Amino acid sequence: MYIGVDVGGTFTDIAVNRDDGTTLLLHKLSSTPAAPEEAILQGLHSLFAQHDLNFTDTERLAHGTTVGTNAIIQRKGGNVALVTSQGFRDLIEIGRQTRPTVYDMHLDHPPVLVERGMRFEVPQRRLADGRIHVPLDEAAVEELAGQFDDACLDCIVICFLHSYAFPEDEERAAEIMRKHVPDTIKVITSSSVYPEFREFERFSTAVLNGALLSVVGSYLDRLTDEAGRLGLPTDVKISQSSGGLMSVRTAREFPVRASLSGPAAGVQGALYRARVAGFQDIITLDVGGTSADVALLKDLTPSEVNERTIGGFPVRIPCMDVNSVGAGGGSIAWIDTDGLLKVGPQSAGAVPGPACYDLGGTQATVTDANIVLDRLNSEALLDGRMPINKARSAATIDDLAENLQMDSDDVALGIIQVACSRMVKAIRSISIERGYDPKDFALLAFGGAGALHAVDVARELGMNTILIPPNPGILCAEGAMNADITSDFVNTAFCELTEDNVPAIQAIAGTLAKEVELWFENEAVTPQQRLLVWSVGARYFGQNYELTLNVDMDLDAAEFVARTRQDFQDAHVALYGFASEDEPVQIVNVMAKAVGELQQGQLPLIQTRSDAEPVEYRNSLFKSGVRQRTPVLRRVDLHAGQEIPGPAIIEQLDSTVIIFPNDTCHVDEWGNLIIRLED
């Protein structure tokens, strides 16, 4: 069996593939934010008992987690001390001297994670070419180490200038520190976390990694201990921000790599489902309880970026290019000082949750609006396991309607429209603003609320095809279950793209190849499972940001330069609208993505049988002032080849699918719903 788990802010999702080609087992339950492993173990116990399964039959347990992300956002990470080159203790606070939002004069950066009193300097300075300007004062490092007490410190992070290329001083300082500080204090270097230039981003990433070591490490200890008692694999695979998996050992050492794992796992699941269903170009829409995450996959190739922010702090690691906005099922509707209706980014979360959950929530949310519009089941969700109090939803919407002096149905419809407009804006930024027309793509909607809002979003973007996978609310867990184990390696180059410099670029690749080989051995990846993808970061001289290009390191110098330059020009035109034939191109870094291809369970086909019949009818509202008698079907009753005319509502454990009037839905052999919108 293969198990995938995704822990979100509202729900914990579990998918189990028995690898017999018959069915996927699914479970969804409320998250337990204080101890996320409790929901995981509770859900596994329930699912395995229900289907009479044995934990020891599990081949792999893969897990996407928000523990690190939440710790940073809530500022509940471990206590960190920073040791840096003399004169640079404030670099991490000065940053780039830019405002978080250009036009907001009042918004400030978040307070730094390391207070000034815990930032220390030692005499040391290397120049950009590696020459020693000030030798490392080892005596000063040893003296500083004597000041640290494990009673108030979890990690020491050593960040020296230019250590991305010349890590010797960082490594020596770390060696001295480890000899003189208590064993309970971890010592890490910025060059070991991700050795790339741009010192502020590198320092920030290393500090975030240090702050997460104790938090994520403690969580993984509890999870693996409990997994071992049940007979599950203790080497739980952890989903990374880049979409691949990593071992528990790696996650304990580099927890920052899992900081954006949830959205990445969703894209991975969407990619897998789209490939099987025969779609090549898709835009993903993952709507959960707190946010909506979107990504664009051209030719089923997800874009990667090397920098994101978490809680306002830059993180320099490979990440899926996922754009997120605060618009989810739990997003709170409110009236701004200008008297206009707004939705999010504040969320009701799992507790107290939307008002209809009857757990103490008193503010209207997107979920409450869907209840009032009779698009969602007003009695219970999660196949009857979560009772719903429609009266509470109606009361919160009525309060807004009274303040806005509008009809309650129109307010509920307005909440949906405002939330969807935020999702549309997010998709425009990754498509239209980058030269892609959304009309050329299918919208693959998932997450607990993705299928509820897919039609509204697609219609506003001019898209005419929507793909809803069989288990949209649990696709992130499915994505983690079907991902490969990966690791990224990087080395800075800083040279012009010329034939004379190709040997130097290939020499850097040779050094990285040795690191990759060692990683393959440590992760027990067999030669048959190994895959290595090379890329470079390229830019015109003087630019601040580079473009990532896949390259073939086995080409001769002339072919390497010609092909890489052409790829760069094409990418520059696609992103910026122009390219310069005469401008020299600079290679900034060389990157290697190592992939260990893991075995994946078979996806089940669904049967062909007689058409499913509605289980009830509901007076649902799709446009202002018009309620329509709408049939409600159960997803498990649908068969391959069935055609469903709109309006219709399709309910299942993990999500609800809405088909608007005059639209049509086709069920394919894999159980996907393919919705075609009226022209």
The answer to whether residues 287 and 328 touch, using CB atoms and an 8 Å cutoff, is yes
Q: How confident is the model at residue 188 (pLDDT cuts 50, 70, 90)?
A: very high
* 466 burial type by CB count under 10 A (0-12 exposed, 13-18 middle, 19+ buried): buried
Residues near 141 by beta carbon (within 8 Å), at least 6 away in sequence: 83, 122, 173, 176, 177
Angle (nearest 5°) at CA 4 between 69 and 42: 85
Q: Looking at the predicted structure, is the pLDDT value of residue 384 above 80?
A: no
The pLDDT score that the predictor gives to residue 280 is 93
Phi, psi values for residue 393, rounded to 5°: -60, -45
Amino acid present at 577:
G
Residue range 479-502: mean pLDDT, rounded = 92
The C-alpha atoms of residue 31 and residue 130 are separated, in whole angstroms, by: 49
Amino acid present at 245:
L
The C-alpha atoms of residue 35 and residue 41 are separated, in whole angstroms, by: 11
Closest by alpha carbon to 670, among 609, 612, 611, 608?
608
Instruction: Tally Cβ neighbours within 10 Å of residue 609.
Output: 12
Model pTM score: 0.86
What percentage of residues in the chain have a pLDDT greater than 70? 99
The pLDDT score that the predictor gives to residue 344 is 82
DSSP three-state, residue 34? coil
Instruction: Tally Cβ neighbours within 10 Å of residue 362.
Output: 11
The C-alpha atoms of residue 220 and residue 254 are separated, in whole angstroms, by: 12
Tens-place pLDDT, residues 308-366: 888 788 888 888 888 888 888 888 999 988 888 998 888 887 778 899 988 888 899 99
Residue range 390-405: mean pLDDT, rounded = 92
Q: In the chain, list all ranges with CATH 3.40.50.
A: 73-216
Beta-sheet pairing, 331-335 with 323-325: unpaired
Residue range 16-41: mean pLDDT, rounded = 84
Q: Looking at the predicted structure, is the pLDDT value of residue 503 above 70?
A: yes
The pLDDT score that the predictor gives to residue 192 is 93
DSSP three-state, residue 649? strand
Q: In the chain, list all ranges with CATH 3.30.420.40.
A: 262-328+419-481
Going by CATH, does the domain composed of 73-216 fall within 3.40.1350? no
Q: How confident is the model at residue 11 (pLDDT cuts 50, 70, 90)?
A: confident
The answer to whether residues 618 and 641 touch, using CB atoms and an 8 Å cutoff, is no
The C-alpha atoms of residue 32 and residue 27 are separated, in whole angstroms, by: 15
Q: How confident is the model at residue 261 (pLDDT cuts 50, 70, 90)?
A: confident
DSSP run (H or E) holding 634? strand 626-634
Fold of the CATH domain 485-596: Dna Ligase; domain 1 (3.30.1490)
The pLDDT score that the predictor gives to residue 484 is 92
Q: Looking at the predicted structure, is the pLDDT value of residue 86 above 90?
A: yes
Within 13 Å of residue 376, how many CA atoms lie on the same side as its CB? 35
Instruction: Tally Cβ neighbours within 10 Å of residue 140.
Output: 18
The C-alpha atoms of residue 243 and residue 238 are separated, in whole angstroms, by: 10
Q: Looking at the predicted structure, is the pLDDT value of residue 100 above 90?
A: no
Residue range 632-658: mean pLDDT, rounded = 92
Place of tokens 């952890």: 238
Closest by alpha carbon to 457, among 218, 256, 287?
287
Tens-place pLDDT, residues 368-383: 999 999 999 888 887 7
The C-alpha atoms of residue 192 and residue 235 are separated, in whole angstroms, by: 22
Instruction: Tally Cβ neighbours within 10 Å of residue 636.
Output: 14
Q: Looking at the predicted structure, is the pLDDT value of residue 399 above 80?
A: yes
Q: Looking at the predicted structure, is the pLDDT value of residue 295 above 70?
A: yes
Amino acid present at 456:
D
Angle (nearest 5°) at CA 298 between 295 and 303: 50
The answer to whether residues 672 and 470 touch, using CB atoms and an 8 Å cutoff, is yes
Amino acid present at 568:
F
Instruction: Tally Cβ neighbours within 10 Å of residue 107.
Output: 10
Secondary structure string (H, E, C) spanning 565-590 = HHHHHHHHHHHHCCCCCCCCEEEEEE
Q: Which residues of 122-136 are buried (b: 16+ CB within 10 A; e: fewer)?
A: bebbbeeeeeeeeeb
Tens-place pLDDT, residues 562-594: 999 999 999 999 888 889 988 999 999 999 999
The pLDDT score that the predictor gives to residue 72 is 82
Tens-place pLDDT, residues 403-450: 999 999 999 999 999 999 999 999 999 998 888 899 999 999 998 899
The C-alpha atoms of residue 245 and residue 64 are separated, in whole angstroms, by: 9
The pLDDT score that the predictor gives to residue 603 is 81
DSSP three-state, residue 657? strand
Residue range 200-211: mean pLDDT, rounded = 94
The pLDDT score that the predictor gives to residue 324 is 83
The answer to whether residues 215 and 76 touch, using CB atoms and an 8 Å cutoff, is yes
Q: What DSSP string runs through 518-570?
A: HHHHHTT--GGGEEEEEEEEEEETT-S--EEEEE-TTS-HHHHHHHHHHHHHH
Q: What DSSP string runs through 262-324?
A: HHHHHHHHHHHHHHHHT--SEEEEEE-SS-EEEEEEETTEE-EES-EEETTEEE-S-EE--EE
Q: What DSSP string runs through 334-361?
A: EE-TTS-EEEEEEE-TTTT-SGGG-SS-
Phi, psi values for residue 65, rounded to 5°: -135, 150
**pLDDT, the chain, mean:** 90
The C-alpha atoms of residue 473 and residue 383 are separated, in whole angstroms, by: 13
The C-alpha atoms of residue 44 and residue 58 are separated, in whole angstroms, by: 12
The answer to whether residues 482 and 269 touch, using CB atoms and an 8 Å cutoff, is yes
Closest by alpha carbon to 413, among 369, 448, 375?
369
Q: Looking at the predicted structure, is the pLDDT value of residue 607 above 80?
A: no
Tens-place pLDDT, residues 45-59: 999 999 999 999 988
Tens-place pLDDT, residues 143-172: 999 888 776 899 999 999 999 999 999 999
Residue range 495-511: mean pLDDT, rounded = 95
Closest by alpha carbon to 671, among 600, 587, 604, 571?
604
Q: In the chain, list all ranges with CATH 3.30.1490.
A: 485-596
What percentage of residues in the chain have a pLDDT greater than 90? 59
Q: Looking at the predicted structure, is the pLDDT value of residue 659 above 90?
A: yes
Our measurement of the distance from residue 559's CA atom to the centroid of its chain's CA atoms, rounded to an integer in Å, reads: 36
The C-alpha atoms of residue 385 and residue 671 are separated, in whole angstroms, by: 24
Fold of the CATH domain 262-328+419-481: Nucleotidyltransferase; domain 5 (3.30.420)
Give the C-alpha distances (Å, rounded to integers) separating 641 from 608, 614, 646. Answer: 7, 17, 16
Q: How many residues does the chain have?
A: 679
The C-alpha atoms of residue 523 and residue 528 are separated, in whole angstroms, by: 14
Residue range 380-407: mean pLDDT, rounded = 89
Angle (nearest 5°) at CA 479 between 216 and 36: 30
The pLDDT score that the predictor gives to residue 151 is 67
Tens-place pLDDT, residues 615-636: 999 999 998 888 999 999 999 8
The C-alpha atoms of residue 231 and residue 22 are separated, in whole angstroms, by: 24
Closest by alpha carbon to 251, among 207, 230, 208, 220?
220
Tens-place pLDDT, residues 440-484: 999 999 988 999 999 999 999 999 999 999 989 888 888 899 899
Amino acid present at 152:
C
